[in-house]
Amino acid sequence: MSDTKKVALVTGGVGGIGTAICLRLSKEGFKVIACYYPPLASDAEIWVKEHNAAGNDIGIIAGDVTSEADSVRMIKEIESQYGLVEILVNCAGITKDRTFRKLAASDWEAVINTNLNSVFYVTRPVWGGMLDRGFGRIINISSVNGQRGQFGQTNYSAAKAGMHGFTMALAQEGAAKGVTVNTISPGYVETAMTGAMRPEVRDAIIAGVPMKRMGRPEEIAAVVAFLAAAENGYITGANIPVNGGLFMH
Ligand code: CAA
């Protein structure tokens, strides 16, 4: 049955927003593969058992998206085991929040590697096949903080803004070949990532959101499903904000 399904790869697939994306794409009829950071193998095993027991059709694969070699290896394995990747959701991301004065080069590099360089490493091996087949969807999960900047996040804001630059450039290369490339920029969403902020910082941020609440991961996943759909082939190079009104432009 899964042979006839389009394969959708979600990096960061076992994370907060990634999980909602995997569940939604599975519900939409895709064969979903969630890529997880290799040291998290035992958590990923538990995660996939739980979700497949609930009726989903999800596979998992270890992949260090900060490594070009491991990303290439991962795509090869997925394509031989499940089929060609037709939907790629670049959702892997981390934070290392520090005021710039305290930001170490290692904090900068870790965030740029995981959030931005990964987009190159994972997209590159699926791109040629998408162009040749005349169909593909690349969906980059950026952030409101890549659009407006955020105190304590020079590394993260730079990486997330860079993702959309990549989107706009690559969208032009895919446009005449049936491959769309888009960015989604979530605002503050209820996940472990936002849960790690100091409560007073978190409360101050929510107070500044016009909707006065955080987003739910499912609200991001719904937009991913929309962009992934074959019928939505005329949106490309876009940056879709899903931020409760926090930033409008
Ligand atoms: N604008 C201007 N000044 C600010 C400020 C702001 N937004 N926030 C704090 N300051 C000031 C403080 O008033 C303080 O001033 P004084 O030194 O004069 O007293 C100074 O900056 C230092 O502030 P902190 O005490 O907060 O500094 P810190 O080093 O203890 O903490 C930080 C720094 C960890 C980065 C903290 O500010 C923080 O957590 N900021 C929020 C970062 C954030 O939004 N992270 C989002 C994570 S989730 C995510 O990223 C998902 C997504 O895509 C949205």
Q: What is the pLDDT of residues 156-202, one digit of tens each?
A: 999 999 999 999 999 999 999 999 999 999 999 999 999 999 999 99
- Evaluate: CB of 156 within 6 angstroms of ligand 1: yes
- Evaluate: CB of 135 within 6 angstroms of ligand 1: no
Å from CA of 187 to ligand 1 middle: 16
Report the percentage of the chain scoring pLDDT > 90. 98
The residue-averaged pLDDT of 132-155 equals: 98
pLDDT value for 3: 58
Confidence of residue 144 (pLDDT cuts 50, 70, 90): very high
Query: Where do we find the tokens 């969208």?
Result: 171
In this prediction the pTM is: 0.96
**Res 1 pLDDT > 50:** no
- Evaluate: CB of 194 within 6 angstroms of ligand 1: yes
Q: What is the pLDDT of residues 42-99, one digit of tens each?
A: 999 999 999 999 999 899 999 999 999 999 999 999 999 999 999 999 999 999 999 9
Å from CA of 99 to ligand 1 middle: 7
Å from CA of 197 to ligand 1 middle: 9
Greater pLDDT, 2 or 109: 109
The residue-averaged pLDDT of 32-46 equals: 97
Residue 164 · residue 146 · CB < 8 Å:
yes
**Res 246 pLDDT > 90:** yes
Mean pLDDT, the chain, rounded, equals 97
**Catalytic sites, residue numbers:** 156
Closest C-alpha to ligand 1, atom 39: 197
**Res 249 pLDDT > 90:** no
What is the distance between the alpha carbons of residues 88 and 99, in angstroms, rounded to a whole number? 33
The residue-averaged pLDDT of 99-124 equals: 98
Residues 6+ apart with CB under 8 A from 45: 60
What is the distance between the alpha carbons of residues 97 and 217, in angstroms, rounded to a whole number? 21
- Take residue 65 and report the two structure tokens written for it: 């998206």
Å from CA of 152 to ligand 1 middle: 5
pLDDT value for 4: 84
Q: How far is CA 11 from CA 1, 92, 134, 201, 210, in A?
A: 24, 5, 23, 28, 30
The residue-averaged pLDDT of 142-167 equals: 98
The residue-averaged pLDDT of 195-221 equals: 97
Closest C-alpha to ligand 1, atom 49: 194
pLDDT value for 2: 45
Which fold does the domain 7-237 belong to in CATH? Rossmann fold (3.40.50)
- Take residue 237 and report the two structure tokens written for it: 């190079």
- Radius of gyration (C-alpha) of the chain in whole angstroms: 17
Best mutation site among 17, 98, 99 for ligand 1 pocket (most ligand atoms within 8 Å of CB) = 99
Ligand 1 atom, smallest distance to 143 CA? 53
Boundaries of every domain in the chain: 7-237
**Res 110 pLDDT > 90:** yes
Best mutation site among 111, 151, 189 for ligand 1 pocket (most ligand atoms within 8 Å of CB) = 151
pLDDT value for 183: 99
What is the distance between the alpha carbons of residues 114 and 121, in angstroms, rounded to a whole number? 10
Residues 6+ apart with CB under 8 A from 74: 35, 61, 62, 63, 122
- Evaluate: CB of 150 within 6 angstroms of ligand 1: yes
